[in-house]
Amino acid sequence: MQDLSENRVLIYIFGASGDLAHRKLYPALFNLYRKGYIKDHFTVIGTARREWTNEYYRNNVLKSLEELPGSFNQKFSFIQHFHYQSHDVTDSKHYDTLRELGESLDRVYETQGNRIFYMAMAPEFFSTIAEHIKSQNLLSDTGYNRIIIEKPFGRDYETAKALNDSISKAFDEKQIYRIDHYLGKEMVLGLLPIRFSNPMFEQVWNRKFIDNIQITLFEALGVEDRAEYYDHTGALRDMVQNHIIQILALLTLDKPEKLTAEALRAQKEKLYEALRIYPIKEVAKKFVRGQYGSSDIPEHEPAYRSETKVDPNSKMETFVAGEINIDNDQWRGVPIYIRTGKRMPEKQTRVDIVFKASDQIFDKPADKTIITIDIEPTEGISLLINGKKIGLTTDPVGYQLSYHHSAEQLAEVLDAYERLILDVIKGEATNFSHWHELEATWHFIDVIREYWDNNAPTDFPNYKSGTNGPEAADQLLKQSGRSWVYNPEPRTKR
Ligand X SMILES: NC(=O)c1ccc[n+]([C@@H]2O[C@H](COP(=O)([O-])OP(=O)(O)OC[C@H]3O[C@@H](n4cnc5c(N)ncnc54)[C@H](OP(=O)(O)O)[C@@H]3O)[C@@H](O)[C@H]2O)c1
Q: Which residue positions form the known binding site?
A: 49, 88-89, 151, 181, 185, 219, 238, 342, 347
Please report whether residue 89 would count as binding ligand X according to CB under 6 A.
yes
Contacts 24+ apart (CB under 8 A), 482-486: 482/211, 482/212, 482/335, 482/337, 482/354, 484/214, 484/216, 484/337, 484/339, 485/214, 485/352, 485/354, 485/370, 485/372, 486/214, 486/216, 486/348, 486/350, 486/352, 486/372
**Region of 120-128, 164-172, 259-267, 441-449 interacting with ligand X (CB under 6 A):** 120-128
Give me the half-sphere count of Cα atoms (radius 13 Å) on the Cβ side of residue 446. 13
Q: Is the dihedral of CA 423, 424, 430, 433 positive or negative?
A: positive
Report in angstroms how near the CB of residue 233 gets to ligand X at its nearest: 9
Among 68, 108, 122, 357, binds ligand X (CB under 6 A): 122
Determine which helix (DSSP H) or strand (DSSP E) holds 217, and give its type and residue range. strand 210-218
Residue ranges of the binding site for NADP(+) = 49, 88-89, 151
Residue whose CB is less far from ligand X, 88 or 257: 88
**How many residues belong to the chain?**
494
**Region of 87-95, 213-221, 241-249, 265-273 interacting with ligand X (CB under 6 A):** 87-95
Residue ranges of the binding site for substrate = 181, 185, 219, 238, 342, 347
Q: State CA 183 to chain mean position distance.
A: 6
Please report whether residue 50 would count as binding ligand X according to CB under 6 A.
yes
**Region of 83-91, 413-421, 440-448, 468-476 interacting with ligand X (CB under 6 A):** 83-91
Residue whose CB is less far from ligand X, 88 or 489: 88
Report in angstroms how near the CB of residue 206 gets to ligand X at its nearest: 34
Among 34, 87, 178, 419, binds ligand X (CB under 6 A): 87
**Region of 86-94, 204-212, 343-351, 366-374 interacting with ligand X (CB under 6 A):** 86-94
Binding footprint of ligand X, residue count (CB under 6 A): 20
Residue whose CB is less far from ligand X, 123 or 335: 123
Please report whether residue 409 would count as binding ligand X according to CB under 6 A.
no
Name the pairing type of β-strands 145-149 and 115-119: parallel
CA separation for the pair 21, 26 (Å, rounded): 6
Please report whether residue 221 would count as binding ligand X according to CB under 6 A.
no
What letter represents residue 415's amino acid? D
Catalytic residue among 41, 132, 243, 434: 243
- Write each residue from 139 to 178 as x if it is in contact with ligand X (CB under 6 A), else as -, in one continuous string: -----------xxx--------------------------
Please report whether residue 233 would count as binding ligand X according to CB under 6 A.
no
Interface of this chain with ligand X, residues 18 to 47, rule: CB under 6 A: 18-20
Among 16, 2, 35, 30, residue whose Cα is nearest residue 110 = 2
Give me the half-sphere count of Cα atoms (radius 13 Å) on the Cβ side of residue 158. 3
Residue whose CB is less far from ligand X, 334 or 438: 438
Among 9, 28, 44, 48, binds ligand X (CB under 6 A): 48
Report in angstroms how near the CB of residue 301 gets to ligand X at its nearest: 21
Please report whether residue 127 would count as binding ligand X according to CB under 6 A.
no
Give me the half-sphere count of Cα atoms (radius 13 Å) on the Cβ side of residue 59. 4
> How many CB atoms are located within 10 Å of the residue 169 CB?
12
Contacts 24+ apart (CB under 8 A), 470-478: 470/288, 470/290, 470/319, 472/288, 472/290, 472/321, 473/288, 473/290, 473/319, 473/321, 473/339, 475/288, 476/286, 476/288, 476/321, 476/322, 476/323, 476/337, 477/212, 477/337
Cα–Cα distances in angstroms (integers) from residue 46 to residues 10, 83, 144, 238, in the given order: 11, 6, 19, 26
Please report whether residue 17 would count as binding ligand X according to CB under 6 A.
yes
Residue whose CB is less far from ligand X, 214 or 433: 433
Among 45, 98, 101, 120, binds ligand X (CB under 6 A): 120
| 243 is a catalytic site residue | yes
User: So which residues are the catalytic ones?
Assistant: 243
Query: Interface residues with ligand X (CB under 6 A)?
Result: 15-20, 48-50, 87-90, 120-123, 150-152
